[in-house]
Structure 1
């Protein structure tokens, strides 16, 4: 499945205004709020800024001059945002389920970006629809395959959580570019590498992510792959729609006996 543009009517939603998002930041657990530099380079360090979460919440209404990228992670912890996400998924599930199987593990992320912020090249092991709420951004996607994403990088993510990817000269012209303005949404396929640049005004985006039976089994298979290769067994990248059932079961068994 490739990336695809959609339309939505969430731009004026009161839960997605800057004051409402500042309130959400004050309610979320501190570990679920990130503030990073706005001046990162592709393939460079997307460095964290400070650790004062109350200050981060206070910065959200003035994001235009903050030089920051702020992420509110797992907003479904807050009942009002959980209701919003479940309402969206209820509308989309009849289309999603035939393509991926019934959606599960629904999560929400809000990205609040100063003008011209670059989110460097990376990937996420989940299905994603990104709803552009305010401002504009360019979102460039790539196939989840070499040279953009290797088997080793996918396996390392599922073991340690590192999702940033090295940048190579020429990648900028090889992706599928999508320009998003308020009312636009983008479906991002599972594990598709991408980078994002905000436009000349502050940007707010809501990301709704989910998993399915196949993606959960694929994650387990990728964790156990290095162990299987040491034993001389085949261990490639799971390909949709074939379920890597035996590898997933092997991963769970290896965890139980302390091999992983």
Structure 2
């Protein structure tokens, strides 16, 4: 039995890689994605890769870790009913989950491969969100498909360009890993909002800003992310920008140029190796 509904694959092909695209899946009820299995996964992972954050943050500053709470595996096993957000980061380090991620991407290879090449740096994240949990406005410099397993959530995606995401914010991510973004009420009506229920999945373009809110029931989602040769080149070119400014040359801006910055990327890798960046 396919994990991805074959009838929805052509719909994704019409959107990938530039625009959000929906597909249907059959992961609901999968043995690795129930609460008991996820609690066991949490116990098997390094503690630093299992984190719990508050569920009512309105911005990145307020999206703080919960200290002194019950162990994450216990709250997961209880069904994720607390008003908080728990993430299993880098779930691919567990072999069974790694196999699941690769099986999913294998079924999407006819869409991904021709457009962006074979996926690289595949990573997996599982989110267990209490009712009403809000993930503030942020972006991830990777391609992403979010599979909704239990409960429902609203996922609002925005273009990876000003005013939602500017060059300074992109550079900050590749310099220090900072991915939270400033939110203004004017943005509310501009996002492409998707209501996701069990069996729904949403492709999110590379670096597309977004916010997420869980519905009235506990939510479980699986996020599969990856890079491609071009996205790696973009990252290398962005790291070169500070040096270019110092010598009076214009920086690379992905929002202004869609073609891959191969020469700048190569220079950025060399600069990093010799300690200039």
For residues 107-132 of structure 1, the C-alpha deviation after alignment (integer angstroms, 9 at most, x for no partner) is 11000000000000000000000000
Cα shift at 1:64: 4.1
Deviations along 1:156-197, whole A, 9 cap, x unmatched? 100000000000122111100000000000000000000000
What SS does the corresponding residue of 1:190 show, helix, strand or coil? coil
Query: Does the 8 A contact of 2:82 with 2:131 survive in 1?
Result: no
- How far apart in 2 are the matches of 1:164 and 1:201? 26
- CA deviation after TM superposition for structure 1 residue 44, in Å: 4.6
Q: Is the CA contact (8 Å cut-off) linking 1:69 and 1:117 kept in structure 2?
A: yes
Q: Would you say 1:167 and 2:183 are equivalent positions? A: yes
Counterpart for residue 116 of structure 1: 132
Match of 1:9 in 2: 26
How far apart, CA to CA, are the structure 1 residues paired with 2:109 and 2:34? 26
Paired residue for 1:96? 112
The question of 1:155 aligning with 2:171 is answered yes
Check conservation: 2:144, 2:204, Cα contact below 8 A.
yes
Deviation of the 1:39 alpha carbon: 1.1
> Secondary structure of the equivalent of 1:96?
helix
CA distance in 1, matches of 2:68, 2:253: 37
Which residue of structure 2 lines up, in the alignment, with residue 71 of structure 1? Answer: 87
Equivalent residue, structure 2, for 1:55:
71
SS of aligned partner of 2:78: helix
Aligned residue for 1:254, secondary structure, equals helix
* Cα drift, residue 230 of structure 1: 1.3
Q: Which runs of 5+ in 1 are unaligned?
A: none
Rounded Cα–Cα distance in structure 2 between residues aligned with 1:43 and 1:254: 31
Pair 1:22 & 2:3 matched:
no
Residue 193 of structure 2 corresponds to which residue in structure 1? Answer: 177
Residue 51 to residue 26, structure 1, CA distance change in 2 (3 Å): farther
Query: Cα RMSD (Å) of the superposition?
Result: 1.5
Q: Secondary structure at the match of 1:39?
A: coil
TM-score by length of 1: 0.96
- Find the aligned partners of 1:21 and 1:217 in 2 and give their Cα distance: 35
Q: What is the CA-CA distance between 1:254 and the residue it aligns to?
A: 1.3
Equivalent position SS for 1:65: coil
CA distance in 1, matches of 2:27, 2:261: 37
Q: 1:205 aligns with which of 197, 221, 232?
A: 221
Q: Is the 8 A contact 1:43 1:167 kept in 2?
A: no
Q: Distance in 2 between matches of 1:43 and 1:23?
A: 29
- The two structures have a TM-score, normalised by structure 2, of 0.90
Instruction: Measure how far apart 1:61 and its partner are.
Output: 2.0
**Contact 1:118/1:197, CA 8 A, preserved across alignment:** yes
CA distance in 2, matches of 1:191, 1:22: 30
Task: Quote the offset at 1:86 in angstroms.
Answer: 0.8
Q: Residue 63 of structure 1: CA displacement?
A: 4.6
Structure 1 residue runs of 4 or more that deviate by more than 4 Å after TM superposition: none
Asked if 1:193 is matched to 2:209, the reply is yes
Unaligned runs of 5+ in 2: 1-17
Is 2:260 the counterpart of 1:247?
Answer: no
